[in-house]
Amino acid sequence: MKKEVMIVTGAGQIGMALARRTGFGKKIILGDKSMKNAENIAEIMNNAGYDVIPFEMDLSSREDILAIIRKAQECGEIKYLINAAGVSPSQAPIEAILKVDLYGTAVLLEEVGKVIAEGGVGVTISSQSGWRMPQLTPEEDRQLAMTPTEELLSLPLLQPENIRDTLHAYQLAKRCNEKRVMYECIRWGERGARLNDIAPGIIVTPLAVDEFNGPRGGFYKNMFAKCPAGRPGTADEMANIAELLMSDAGAFITGSTFLADGGATASYYYGPLQP
Q: What is the footprint of ligand NAD within residues 138-197 (CB under 6 A)?
A: none
- Interface segment toward ligand NAD; rule CB under 6 A; list 65-73, 82-90, 110-118, 161-169: 82-90
Q: What binding mask, one character per residue, do residues 6-35 give for ligand NAD by CB under 6 A, x or -?
A: ---xxxxxxx----------------xxx-
Q: Does 170 participate in catalysis according to the annotation?
A: yes
- Interface segment toward ligand NAD; rule CB under 6 A; list 142-150, 202-210, 222-230, 239-247: 202-210
Q: What is d(CA 56, CA 43) in angstroms, rounded to the nearest whole number?
A: 15
88 counts as binding ligand NAD under rule CB under 6 A: yes
* Residue 29 CB burial class (10 angstroms; 0-12, 13-18, ≥19): buried
Q: Does 71 participate in catalysis according to the annotation?
A: no
Phi/psi for 32 (5° steps) reads -155, 150
60 counts as binding ligand NAD under rule CB under 6 A: yes
125 counts as binding ligand NAD under rule CB under 6 A: yes
Identify which of residues 77 and 243 has a Cβ nearer to ligand NAD in the complex: 243
- The DSSP code sequence of 25-74 is TSEEEEEES-HHHHHHHHHHHHTTT-EEEEEE--TT-HHHHHHHHHHHHT
Identify which of residues 77 and 205 has a Cβ nearer to ligand NAD in the complex: 205
Phi/psi for 52 (5° steps) reads -120, 130
Identify which of residues 117 and 204 has a Cβ nearer to ligand NAD in the complex: 204
Q: Name the 3-class secondary structure at 161.
A: helix
Long-range contacts of 91-95 (CB under 8 A, 24+ apart): 91/207, 91/210, 92/166, 93/166, 94/160, 94/163, 94/165, 94/166, 94/169
**Dihedral sign, CA of 109, 114, 115, 117?**
positive
Q: Which residue is nearest to ligand NAD (CB)?
A: 12
Q: What is d(CA 216, CA 212) in angstroms, rounded to the nearest whole number?
A: 7
Catalytic residue among 26, 27, 99, 174: 174
Quote the least distance from Cβ 189 to ligand NAD, whole Å: 24
Q: Name the 3-class secondary structure at 113.
A: helix
Q: What binding mask, one character per residue, do residues 212-251 give for ligand NAD by CB under 6 A, x or -?
A: ----------------------------------------
Identify which of residues 60 and 143 has a Cβ nearer to ligand NAD in the complex: 60
Helix (H) or strand (E) holding 176: helix 166-190
C-alpha of 267 from chain center: 23
Q: Name the 3-class secondary structure at 168.
A: helix
Identify which of residues 191 and 212 has a Cβ nearer to ligand NAD in the complex: 212
130 counts as binding ligand NAD under rule CB under 6 A: no
Shortest CA distance to 54 belongs to which of 29, 79, 72?
A: 29
127 counts as binding ligand NAD under rule CB under 6 A: yes
203 counts as binding ligand NAD under rule CB under 6 A: yes
Annotated catalytic sites, by residue? Answer: 170, 174
Q: Which residues in this chain contact ligand NAD in the complex, by CB under 6 A?
A: 9-15, 32-34, 37, 57-60, 84-88, 100, 125, 127, 200, 202-203, 205-208
